[in-house]
Amino acid sequence: MNIAFCCTGIAPQPWLADLRAALPEARVEPWAPGDAPADHAVVWAPPQAFFDAQPRLRSIFNIGAGVDALLGLRLPPGVPLVRIDDGGMAVQMAEYVCHAAIGYFRDFGGYAADAAAGRWQPREPRDRAAFTIGILGLGVLGQRVARALRQFDFPVRGWSRTPKALDGIDCFAGDGGLDDFLAGTRLLVCLLPLTPDTRDILRRETLSRLPRGAYLVNVARGGHLVEDDLLALVDDGHIAGATLDVFRQEPLPADHPLRVRPRITVTPHISAQSLRADCVAQIARKLRALQRGEPVAGLVDPARGY
């Protein structure tokens, strides 16, 4: 069995070593143009030329959760595409979102500014029961984040494509449920996959439905957010501020307005990083399951877009 490794922007050697150790029955090699076709592929942001040279793939493993970039390519039809589910990312995402949400709720940014200016100024505690946190996307990451936020007694609600019933979480679904979901959300977290249905979902029209003074956390994809609409809504005070980990253009240009707005915090797409050991173990387990004809988690439905 031949496995081609084709991951842009990722140092291949540690991955190759770990994949070879986890799959000793396979020959795992970095892909180069002109190589013989492989049986299986491990990819991250591969070029189209990679798939054009693969007439006999039996499975494709994406070493991240999001497959939006992959689905923009011409993939060999009918070949199972498997993404990483969790892979060490869910707990990191929970940390990141809790940090952003609690930082805003408790105004730790304000206290840091006070300390730097030599001020000693306690503030009135905010009303936790009125601070509803809404999560767009109740999948592997959204559910983990929802559970973490519940630990701090925030009211938590979520929105998904198909209806759900989750303990302690107020669940909304589908286009028909979006307005009600947004209307009661004080802090909005985006954890949707980027698909034709969800592109630009964070735009003036939807963000305006949040109550005045709401806060935004986008940890999904830059393509979800219309950045100029957010800037305008922050300027007029409808949105109090935002924590953004993902952008239309990454790296975010040094002179981009999102970098200099005081109420906007940016990080370089690090809210959750897939961990090599977890991913390799997951790929080896799923590859063997597929060979036995068993179902695997994280199988992408190209028609659905995630």
Residues known to be catalytic: 221, 269
Instruction: Check: CB of residue 1 under 8 Å from CB of residue 25.
Output: yes
Q: Is 306 in the site for ligand NDP (CB under 6 A)?
A: yes
Residue ranges binding ligand OXD (CB under 6 A) = 64-66, 274
Residue number with CB closer to ligand NDP (137 or 155): 137
Phi, psi angle pair for 286, to nearest 5°: -70, -35
Q: Is 220 in the site for ligand NDP (CB under 6 A)?
A: yes
Burial-class residue 119 by CB neighbours within 10 Å (0-12, 13-18, 19+). Answer: exposed
Q: Is 195 in the site for ligand NDP (CB under 6 A)?
A: yes
Q: Is 160 in the site for ligand NDP (CB under 6 A)?
A: yes
- Give the DSSP H or E segment for 158: strand 156-160
Query: Of the candidates 302, 283, 274, which has an alpha carbon nearest to the alpha carbon of residue 61?
Result: 283
DSSP state of 299: B
Q: Is 186 in the site for ligand NDP (CB under 6 A)?
A: no
- Give the DSSP H or E segment for 170: strand 169-173
For residue 64, the minimal CB distance to ligand OXD (Å) is 3
For residue 62, the minimal CB distance to ligand OXD (Å) is 8
The total of other beta-carbon atoms located within 10 Å of residue 238's CB is 17
Residue number with CB closer to ligand NDP (23 or 75): 75
Residue number with CB closer to ligand OXD (15 or 181): 15
Residue number with CB closer to ligand NDP (219 or 287): 219
CA distance 95 to 89: 10
From the list ligand NDP, ligand OXD, none, pick the one residue 197 interacts with, judged by a Cβ distance below 5 to 8 Å according to partner type.
Answer: ligand NDP
Instruction: Check: CB of residue 221 under 8 Å from CB of residue 246.
Output: yes
Tell me which of 52, 153, 179, 197 binds ligand NDP, using CB under 6 A: 197
Residue type, 214: A
Q: Is 142 in the site for ligand NDP (CB under 6 A)?
A: yes
The two tokens of residue 228 are: 């100029």
For residue 301, the minimal CB distance to ligand NDP (Å) is 9
Residue number with CB closer to ligand OXD (141 or 182): 141
Position with the least CB separation from ligand NDP: 139
Tell me which of 19, 23, 38, 140 binds ligand NDP, using CB under 6 A: 140
What is the per-residue DSSP string for 185-234?
A: -SEEEE-----TTTTT-BSHHHHTTSPTTEEEEE-S-GGGB-HHHHHHHH
For residue 83, the minimal CB distance to ligand NDP (Å) is 7
Strands 239-244 and 264-266: parallel
Residues at the interface with ligand NDP (CB under 6 A): 65-66, 85, 89, 137-142, 159-162, 191-195, 197-198, 219-221, 245-246, 269, 271-272, 306
